[in-house]
Chain A
Amino acid sequence: MIVAAATEVDAFRERIRDAAAARPPLRIVGAGTWLDAGQPLAGTMSDTLSTRGLGGIVEYVPGDLTLTARAGTSLAEIRAVTAPEGQWLALDPHGADEGTIGATVATASVGPLATAFGTPRDLVLGVEVVTGTAAIVRGGGRVVKNVAGFDLTRLVTGSWGTLGVITEVTVRLHARPEVDLSLAIRLPARGDAVDAVRLLLRKAPFTPHACELVNDALARQLGIGDRATVIVRVSGNAEAVKAQRDLLGQIAEPREVSSDVWTRLRAADSANGATLVFRLSQLPSRLEDIWRAAMAVAAAAPDTLVHATAMRGVVRCIVPASAHEGDVGPVLTGQSTRTCVGERLPPSLWQTLNSAVQRDGGVARLARGIKAAFDPARVLNPGILGEPL
């Protein structure tokens, strides 16, 4: 399964050297399924550097529960290789499995499974990148525990390609549980229902694989009813799953639903033609506050889809193209009471969001220093994480 990738990586180095010498900068892309995410690149022109051709599993030893793949390998390919071994990569970023592992790691994208398995920062064991100076740098390794040297793996993960083009990734896999059951529970109409769900889960003696609250519009789109609903993914042996299901019954009667509901949830943005996607986050104890802020957006912009990862304190808003920017602007600026992270926004709203963020001056200086160390000529996705980067 080893892929002859040396020539591809050499070609990347050549492209990066050329860009560093003469510009224009490079827009790094994977499968190209999420190109409108992130801030607009600095400058007016850019060339595209795609890792899509750099695919294939490099090493997979099921007994080690680790897998090394070239960056252009799709999540679907990883699923196809690991499923027969009863294993999976517990990452379900929004979009579809056609997305690449490289882009998932570069953007540190997560989905509902982050409830139990954490983010790519918790699942990536090693990376290889080509930096802005065309150097090949490898962080981490292929083992599950590793503290050798400074943690370049975590630094690169979620850096949106601004420090280097990811060419290879090693991830931690998990064994599939005996039972993996998806349940839909209608959210009671009570005013404190969101908080009641959160509290029940906080006190429960188990952590579900996923637990998302979806608003009425999203429930309709997922085909699980027309009212706000909690979808939960419980797992373990049959006895444990039955006990978890019984406990969740305290919210309302759970209905078993097909696991396809998660695939449809991940595809929700493309289904409503959204151009505006952002996330609000806060301490989990303040989930209700950010849920209410999202509901205000949904009230102003009909057909807005909202889902909350209850145990992480994150609410994601998917606003249809028909919405007015004015309906959304105010919610982006409440940074003193919550964090807002943009995924896809029009340039004017990026500006609104950027001006609301209060960055620690020292942190901004460290970030600029790191960018300068890895990409001194600013050729890799410049500006995609905001102006200084």
Chain B
Amino acid sequence: MSAPLLSRSLAAGIDQALADRLAAIVGPRRVLFRPSELLTYSADALPSYHVRPGLAVFPGTRDEVVAVVRELASREIPFVPRGAGTGLSGGALSDGAVLVCLNRLTRILSIDGENGLAVVEPGVVNVALTRAVSAHGLHYAPDPSSQAACTIGGNVAENAGGPHCLKYGVTTNHVVALTVLLPSGEIVRLGNAEGENDGYDLVGAFVGSEGCFGIALDVTVRLSRNPEAIRTLLADFLSVDAAARAVSAIVATGIIPAALEMIDQATVRAVEASIYAAGYPTDAAAVLLIELDGALAGGGLERDVRTVDALCLANGARTVRVARDEAERARLWQGRKKAFGAMGRISPHLVVQDAVVPRTRLPAILERIQEIAEQHRVRVCNVFHAGDGNLHPNIAYDASDADEAARVHLAMRDIMESCVAAGGTITGEHGVGLDKLSYMELIFSADTLAAMCSLRDVFDPERRSNPGKVVPVHACREWHMSPSARRRERATETT
């Protein structure tokens, strides 16, 4: 886990001739081939991995993307699609393959306010979409913490979540249709924006496929109506357990908060010591950030606020504060959304983990995480989507200290195994990528992994799109050789 040396295992066929050919498509400034230029693209937001792509290409239009991918197909060269590079699972890392960067495709192609739909190119930044549709009284609901930088294409690949997914659902609940460029260069239209979709849910299969099924050329998303009013509450507790009980009590009422986030003391202190200070009480064991939204008429929303307030107090909250205005609300949220940034002050590196447990297991798992931290002598902070049971334990450390890095790695593995043992899963929103390959066998059988591999083969029989990610190949029976490679082998045998 110590920062590995930059390897450069160039895939066959990546050479100056290819660079020239791609430059003819996208322009010479849009192809990076020199090792020094590629350094920037050797990592995503996860500090633990550094691998260098063989080449990076930056198409600026849909036609250029298609031409680039067809060129790569004709040469049988592997590639990795990349959005903004904000991923936290190493999913957009390319070890010697061609990196196809989609962040220049930033056009919003259409907005249909009447039906709450928008068609966007993959490089549109998440928050830019919400800004563009706000005049229609709409927003794009999935809001990962990186929303100011991450792209819709990347969100689709990862099936990204965010705090407001508790009420509104994750990316897959908001994508209705896709135009997909298959790795072969063929274009297919998945889903139906104008009515029901019968047949297999290919949109559902593509969302969350982490770049292994091809590239989304455009995405039709469902937009959500802006709530008439929003109330943001901050409740602070003297024990994590009490905060977790309050979470369960709120959810049990039938009120679905727009967001329900927990921030532990270590995180609160990091935030309060940073420029993102939000006014969280630093002596609390945990704070809950609770957002309720709805209609004002008749006082229905205010009733819900009173109910949640009372439930927090009944479960041991010391104080419950309701943001008085938009400025205070923004400040409370900034502390949450920038928590990882604030943690960056503590140590040079930060590893953010992502796991899910059934909500009722939260108190037990938080206690277990603390034990694991003590055992491995690392400092774990927790800031997470409590309403979903989606944990984000994170550890600030120094990656250049090999001993510390190794302890961090062991602690993370123990945390992951504990979450799985509690009936949970290994990722709720960050994806498997490279980082969680080794955990896949904790939750899926060989037959299930093989089914995933065969599904991937339908979209990408040559296995050239984001090779080596998501499914540990060794676990898939009969998957060591791609169908096309087998065909080639058979052809060789017969000649």
What residues of chain A have their CB less than 8 Å away from a CB belonging to chain B? 61-66, 86, 108, 118, 121-122, 131, 135-139, 141-152, 154-155, 157-159, 163, 174-178, 202, 204-206, 236-244, 246-247, 279-285, 313-314, 338-339, 341, 360, 362-363, 366-367, 369-370, 373-374, 385-386, 389
Contact = CB atoms under 8 A, between A and B. Distances in A.
A174 B298 contact: no
Given A205-B294, A285-B114, A145 B196 contact: no
26 contacts: A63-B252, A64-B360, A65-B359, A136-B447, A143-B389, A143-B423, A144-B388, A144-B389, A147-B208, A148-B440, A149-B432, A151-B207, A155-B204, A175-B254, A176-B254, A205-B228, A205-B296, A243-B297, A281-B194, A282-B194, A338-B194, A363-B188, A363-B190, A366-B202, A367-B199, A389-B199
A286 to B, nearest CB: 8
B170 A121 contact: no
B471 interface: yes
Interface stretch (B97-105, B124-132, B331-339, B452-460): B452-460
Which of B199, B294, B443 counts the most A-chain CB atoms under 10 A from its CB?
A: B199
Given A149-B444, A282-B194, A373-B458, A242 B187 contact: no
A146 B356 contact: yes
B392 to A, nearest CB: 12
Which of B251, B295, B429, B436 counts the most A-chain CB atoms under 10 A from its CB?
A: B295
A120 B291 CA distance: 27
A385 B200 CA distance: 9
A144 B173 CA distance: 13
Interface in B343-396: 356-360, 385, 388-390
A289 B79 CA distance: 45
Contacts of A362: 182, 186-189
Contacts of B304: 237
Main secondary structure of the interface of A (DSSP, over half): mixed
B201 interface: yes
Given A141-B424, A144-B356, 14 more contacts: A145-B385, A145-B388, A149-B471, A150-B456, A150-B471, A152-B452, A152-B455, A206-B294, A236-B300, A238-B303, A282-B195, A363-B188, A366-B200, A389-B199
Contacts of A159: 200-201
A152 B448 contact: yes
B72 interface: no
B298 A143 contact: no
A154 B198 contact: no
A240 B298 contact: yes
B446 to A, nearest CB: 9
A118 B190 CA distance: 19
A285 B193 CA distance: 12
Given A61-B358, A138-B448, A147-B158, A339 B470 contact: no
B189 A360 contact: yes
B159 interface: yes
Interface string B436-472: 1000100111011111101111110000000000110
A367 B117 CA distance: 26
Contact of B452 (A147, A149, A177): A149
B316 to A, nearest CB: 17
Contact of B447 (A135, A154, A236, A370): A135
Given A145-B389, A205-B227, A205-B228, A122 B173 contact: yes
B205 interface: yes
Contact of A143 (B172, B186, B358, B444): B358
* 3 nearest CB pairs, A to B: A240-B300, A154-B204, A243-B298
B281 interface: no
Contacts of B200: 155, 158-159, 163, 366-367, 370, 389
Contacts of B172: 151, 154
Nearest to B180: A362
A345 to B, nearest CB: 13
A64 B194 CA distance: 35
Contacts of B112: 283, 285
A366 B188 contact: yes
Contacts of A176: 254
A151 B455 CA distance: 10
Contact of A135 (B158, B201, B204, B451): B451
B48 interface: no
Nearest to B358: A64
A86 B254 contact: yes
Interface string B10-33: 000000000000000000000000
B116 to A, nearest CB: 8
Contacts of A367: 199-200, 202
Nearest to B248: A63
B252 A239 contact: no
Contacts of A285: 112, 114-115
B426 interface: yes
Given A151-B204, A205-B297, A279-B196, A138 B251 contact: no
A145 B429 contact: yes
Nearest to B455: A150
Contacts of B449: 149
A387 to B, nearest CB: 12
A374 B458 CA distance: 11
